[in-house]
Structures are given as C-alpha cells and as structure tokens.
C-alpha cells in the first residue's frame, strides 16, 4: 500500500503531532507499506528511509519561531508522481489545504486529522473576531475527507457540533520503553532544579506559546520557596516567559529529545500542565509513562487521561487561586508517590502499535483494501 502523508509539521520540528506521525511511519514500514511525506521544507529530506518532499516554507506574522508552507500547486504534482492508495492530511490548514483539494480532485481516498484547536487560539493571539471564520474554513476542509480523526472524545463532540462529519477518535499512544521511572538521573535533577535537588521539582514540557498559559506556574513559586521549576521546550513566547519568571528559581532547558527528555521526566517530581485549550496533550501521557503525578485543568481531554486524586490532581480554571492551591498540595511526598505509582500503572501497557494499527485499518477501509469496511455508527470510534 502506498501512503501519502501531507502535514503542516514534521521533522526536525518537535511536537505531539510529529511524535505520533513518526511512530505511525515506523509501524507502516514494518508492515511492508510504502510511505511518502509532504511537509514544509526545513532542510530534512528523509526520515528512517521515508522520503520527505519539502514544500517552500516561511515564517508567518503571528508565529515567527516556526516556518509554514503555504498552499501550492506543487502538491498536485507530488501526488500525481507518487500515485498513492490513500492520502492522509494532518491538521489541514495551509499546505494541507492543497492536500485536501488535490487529493479530492485527483480521486484519492482521503483522511484528515484534527490535532490543534486553532479557533480557540484566536483569543490568545488577540483576534477573537476570526473564530467563526476559522471554524467555517476547517469545516470546509474536513468535510471533503472520507473520514476525519481527532484525539479525544471531547474534541469529537465539538467537531460534530461544528457540523464536521464522519469523525472518529484516534487512540492514544506513548513510548513506554523509552519513558520509564527508572530513567531517573541525579545530574539531570541537579540541572533542572538549578542545584536544588531537595526541593519539589515541577516540570513543564511543550511548545512555549501564549495558549499554553505557562505564566500561571509562577504563582506557585511566589507562594512557596519549597518548589522549583524546569521548562523544557522552545517557541515564540520564550523571551516573554524568561522575563516573566525573572527572580524565580526557574530553568529553561530548550528542547530535549530521546534519552535526555526521558531523564528529565523521570528526574522531576510533578508535571504541570496549565493549558485549557489542548485536544489531547501527548506530554500528559509521556509524564504518566515516566511515573510523574500531574496537575492539569479540569477539561474534557484531560479528564479522559487523568483520574483526579488517583493519577493526578485536576484544578478548576474558573476558581481563583485553584491552580496554585492544587500544586501546593504536592508538598506532600506521600501524595506524590501514591499518584506517581498509579500514573505509571495506568499507562504501562500502552505503546504506539495499537494507535498505528488503528489508523492503518482506517486507510485500508477507505481505500477498499483487504475487505476492511467501516461501520456507520459514528459513536464507536474504534469499530471497523
């Protein structure tokens, strides 16, 4: 089977979408399928034997730390030359719009997946008047697909409310071999805690952008000197955050990858996830795999992953000071250890294979391959 993946983001970029795609591609190859990726040209043209067709990319006004590929007819030529059995457009927006348009024009079976709450981000970038237009735009794109995927039941319900059709939930996955509690490393803890390894070490991992609401964490550091913070990642908001956390015991590491990231998770005490606009939050699953208890906003996607007072603590975003008070509870080492053990236990059997097989089965179904068919019941995201 020939699979064309058209994505707004891929290597060398690092985020949850890229991590998921890399896991899928490895699985597809292992199963004997051929894959080609069309992505913004960031100077990398191969991933583990898979060809990456780069499309010219540029920075955009509101997001200058990352390059994006704009809609282009080049996608049509790339699809015609490759002639895939199925096309998967990931987060269709810019170059993905061309992917949707030309996949349909050329008659290829098409899956689109929704990973980012762009309409909600309009508030953080001070353009809330565009929310309706953005939903109209994404609805037009996704409703051209034969099947749509999203990453949580909550987001599925929201997409259905926005009149986006044929939506299924893409299962979670995580690398439980790489991410384990036994990756604890004394030197890493010293680094992340800025030489204060005996204090309670909070960790945030992710893109440094306004919608992540990372500023909230400073309230904990102001309330108690028993906590220190490490922020792993990079993005357009980094300089603003460095200024915001001036005078606190906060370490900015930049991007961490592979073993270094696994050590960072396992060497910390609590994972903090203040964002209220996520469709999934892969870092939540990674933290759980590493045996970290979590603090996150009470929302649909987080409630699907975190059991309150069992694997983490959920705070009420509408209740003043609730985030601060919730994190401060983790001064209790007994609570941390109990939740950490449960977090790892809940995720220990998870890997990337189940979610990769799921999407491959969806490809086969819409392409009419191997007699796989989709049930029409839209409420059962796992059925084929």
Record: fold of 2-173+352-367 = Rossmann fold (3.40.50)
For 39, 303, 350, the CA distances from 27, given in Å and listed in that order, are: 19, 29, 15
pLDDT confidence of residue 371: 61
Topology match between the domains 2-173+352-367 and 181-347: yes
Distance CA 233, CA 253 (A): 7
Determine how many CB atoms are found less than 10 A away from the CB of residue 383. 11
Predicted local confidence at residue 281, as pLDDT: 82
Please enumerate in sequence order all residues whose Cβ is within 8 A of that of 307, keeping only pairs 6 or more positions apart, or say none: 342, 346
Token reading at 231 = 């922020």
**Class of 181-347 per CATH?**
alpha beta
Question: Domain segments of the chain: what residues?
Answer: 2-173+352-367, 181-347
Give pLDDT tens digits for 318-362.
999 999 999 999 999 999 999 999 999 999 999 999 999 999 999
Sites in the chain below the pLDDT cut of 70: 62-63, 124, 279, 370-373, 375-384
The answer to whether 125 and 92 have CB atoms below 8 angstroms apart is: no
Q: Which pLDDT value is given to residue 277? A: 76
**In terms of DSSP H, where are the helices of 143-257?**
153-161, 186-192, 218-223, 238-244
Smallest CA-to-CA distance from 212 within 6, 15, 4, 72 is with 15
Model pLDDT, residue 370: 63
């Amino acid at each position: 089977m020939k699979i064309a993946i058209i994505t707004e983001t891929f290597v060398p970029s690092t985020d949850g979408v890229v991590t998921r795609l890399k896991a899928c591609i490895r699985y597809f190859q292992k199963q004997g399928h051929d894959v080609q990726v069309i992505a913004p040209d960031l100077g990398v043209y191969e991933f583990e034997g898979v060809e990456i067709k780069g499309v010219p990319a540029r920075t955009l006004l509101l997001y200058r730390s990352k390059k994006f590929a704009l809609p282009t007819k080049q996608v049509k030529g790339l699809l015609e030359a490759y002639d895939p059995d199925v096309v998967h457009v990931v987060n269709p927006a810019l170059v993905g719009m061309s992917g949707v348009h030309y996949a349909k024009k050329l008659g290829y079976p098409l899956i689109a997946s929704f990973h980012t709450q762009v309409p909600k981000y309009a508030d953080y970038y001070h353009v809330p008047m565009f929310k309706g237009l953005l939903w109209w735009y994404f609805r037009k794109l996704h409703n051209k697909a034969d099947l749509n995927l999203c990453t949580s039941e909550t987001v599925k319900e929201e997409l259905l409310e926005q009149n986006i059709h044929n939506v299924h939930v893409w299962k979670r996955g995580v690398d439980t071999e790489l991410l384990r509690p036994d990756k604890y490393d004394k030197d890493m803890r010293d680094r992340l805690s800025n030489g204060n390894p005996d204090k309670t070490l909070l960790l945030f991992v992710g893109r440094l952008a306004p919608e992540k609401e990372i500023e909230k964490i400073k309230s904990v550091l102001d309330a108690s000197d028993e906590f220190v913070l490490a922020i792993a990642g990079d993005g357009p908001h980094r300089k603003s955050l460095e200024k915001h956390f001036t005078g606190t015991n906060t370490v900015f590491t930049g991007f961490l990858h592979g073993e270094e990231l696994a050590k960072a998770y396992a060497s910390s005490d609590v994972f903090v996830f203040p964002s209220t606009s996520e469709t999934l939050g892969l870092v939540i699953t990674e933290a759980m795999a590493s045996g970290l208890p979590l603090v996150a906003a009470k929302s649909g996607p987080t409630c699907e992953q975190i059991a309150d007072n069992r694997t983490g603590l959920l705070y009420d975003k509408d209740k003043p000071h609730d985030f601060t008070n919730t994190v401060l509870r983790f001064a209790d080492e007994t609570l941390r250890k109990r939740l950490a053990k449960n977090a790892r236990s809940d995720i220990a059997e998870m890997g990337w294979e189940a979610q990769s097989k799921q999407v491959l089965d969806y490809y086969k179904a819409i392409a009419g391959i191997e007699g796989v068919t989709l049930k029409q019941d839209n409420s059962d995201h796992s059925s084929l």
